[in-house]
Structure 1
Amino acid sequence: MFYSSIQYKQQQQQKTKYMKRLTNKLMGTAIATLMVAAPVMPAMIATQAQAATAASEMTAVKRLNSLLSGTKSMTASFTQSTKGANGNQSGLSAKNGSFSGTMSLQRPNNFRWNITAPFEQLIVTDGSALWVYDKDLDQATRQDASKQLGNTPALLLSGDPNKIAQNFKITQPNAKKNYYVLYPKSGDASFKSLSVSFNGGKPVMMVLNDSLGQVTTIRFNNVKLNTSIASSQFKFTPPAGVDVINQ
């Protein structure tokens, strides 16, 4: 069969787009760890915790609720990196290093996670619909937020603090340090644990570990609490021409 140069170029472009879609989908899965992954404490923190006196569960719940209840809204920039079970950087992110971007939240259940590098991806919810938009793929996925937020780290940051204990077992390994480790009570959760550290009343780091043993570390910078955020930041309308997938 005869192929013109135009036909050949189109074929190559389609192949390139398919490979890019596949690669970004895998990378997007790592990014979406924010919504579904599970953290464990770094080895150094765990070692310190073994020698420290842990707070009782009741005390840990009270202290964490106090920290989170004072946060009505939050904005920050972040960096995110993932390591495999062997401690090496995950292959999903090794090519491009850490992910980075900006985030914002407003209670109850308004959340925006905007990846800007090494590619663009937006995760946003107003508590009703949860959207994942991949700009490079011209694709947006819509999900029911109520089915996604119940046992995820997003609940910790944007949900009702008084309901967190219903979904997680809350521990404070060192009663003198403001870091907490949470374990999901549901057997359906896709992660094992979640740790969050505070400095000056602000969340500064989350460490997550998925069922495959991958550890994801998220560091927050330029954290601002209780600032005014436009409600439009938590709404999403798919741009014209974007493929929309309903799940």
Structure 2
Amino acid sequence: MKSLAAAGLLLASMAARADAVDTLREFVRDVKSGKSAFSQVVTSPDGKKKKTSSGEFEFQRPNRFRFAYLKPFDQAIVADGQKVWIYDKDLNQASSRKMSAAIGATPAALLAGGDLDKDFDLKPQPDRNGLSWAQALPRSKDGQFQSIQIGFKGKQLAAIEIVDSFGQRSDLTFTDLQTNVAVDPAHFRFVPPAGADVLEQ
């Protein structure tokens, strides 16, 4: 009986973890827009240095999103469907890259577009911190990221954990996520302010 009970628990655990991948696929398929507050903690590869920031996130499929960092510095990452812009208000400096070169197998592709199974190898992960997790490993070996993990609370996106190619870790936590809501299209357009240094790649 004990072995049957153990097998039942194992199967239940595997089913729960498989659901995280299904939930991610459903999120990408069914959620066309959204907005949320977010906080981000970036940890150095040796774990000794941490930087915390926060702001607001919005997206509209396909391939339109905006990360507006409000603290500690005013910065924005804006994708308009053609280009991805990064703007630093304090430096009055903007840079842009073509969408095709900038998105690829990135966290933004998971949230705002992209082809999940083309760009990522998806695997369920054990539940932790009250969330169910799916891992997305970029299929491209020359990308900027080693791994991406996406945490859901029920069907709600709650967190993303990213390890980049240098071993730096970024933990994003989303709060008050609203899905399939109207998002102002103007938020996905970026015009460099007068006098800004602009670098186009």
Q: TM-score, normalised by structure 2?
A: 0.85
2:151 to 189, 192, 197: 197
Quote the Cα distance in structure 2 between the aligned partners of 1:61 and 1:207.
15
Q: Say yes or no: does 1:164 pair with 2:116.
A: yes
- Conserved? CA contact 1:53–1:173, under 8 Å: no
* CA spacing shift, 1:217–1:71, aligned 2, 3 Å: same
The gaps in structure 1 that reach 5 residues or longer are: 1-51
Quote the Cα distance in structure 2 between the aligned partners of 1:79 and 1:73.
19
Deviates more, 1:62-71 or 1:99-108: 62-71
SS in 2 for 1:173: strand
In structure 2, what is the equivalent of residue 69 of structure 1?
Answer: 29
AA of the residue aligned to 1:201: K
Shift of 1:150: 1.1
Instruction: Give the number of aligned pairs.
Output: 189
CA RMSD across the alignment: 2.4
Q: Identity percentage over the alignment?
A: 34
Quote the Cα distance in structure 1 between the aligned partners of 2:18 and 2:120.
13
SS in 2 for 1:213: coil
Quote the Cα distance in structure 2 between the aligned partners of 1:151 and 1:232.
26
SS in 2 for 1:147: helix
Aligned ranges for residues 9-48 of structure 1 at < 5 Å? none
* CA spacing shift, 1:175–1:123, aligned 2, 3 Å: closer
SS in 1 for 2:125: coil
AA of the residue aligned to 1:172: P
- Structure with max Cα Rg: 1
In structure 2, what is the equivalent of residue 107 of structure 1?
Answer: 61
AA of the residue aligned to 1:66: E
- Conserved? CA contact 1:127–1:146, under 8 Å: no
More helix by share: 1
Shift of 1:85: 2.5
More strand by share: 2
Deviates more, 1:62-71 or 1:73-82: 62-71
Quote the Cα distance in structure 2 between the aligned partners of 1:85 and 1:137.
27
* CA spacing shift, 1:188–1:194, aligned 2, 3 Å: same
Q: Deviations over 1:25-64 (max 9, x none)?
A: xxxxxxxxxxxxxxxxxxxxxxxxxxx8546x99765442
Deviates more, 1:171-180 or 1:108-117: 171-180
SS in 1 for 2:47: coil
AA of the residue aligned to 1:204: A
Quote the Cα distance in structure 2 between the aligned partners of 1:191 and 1:109.
19
Q: Say yes or no: does 1:233 pair with 2:193.
A: no
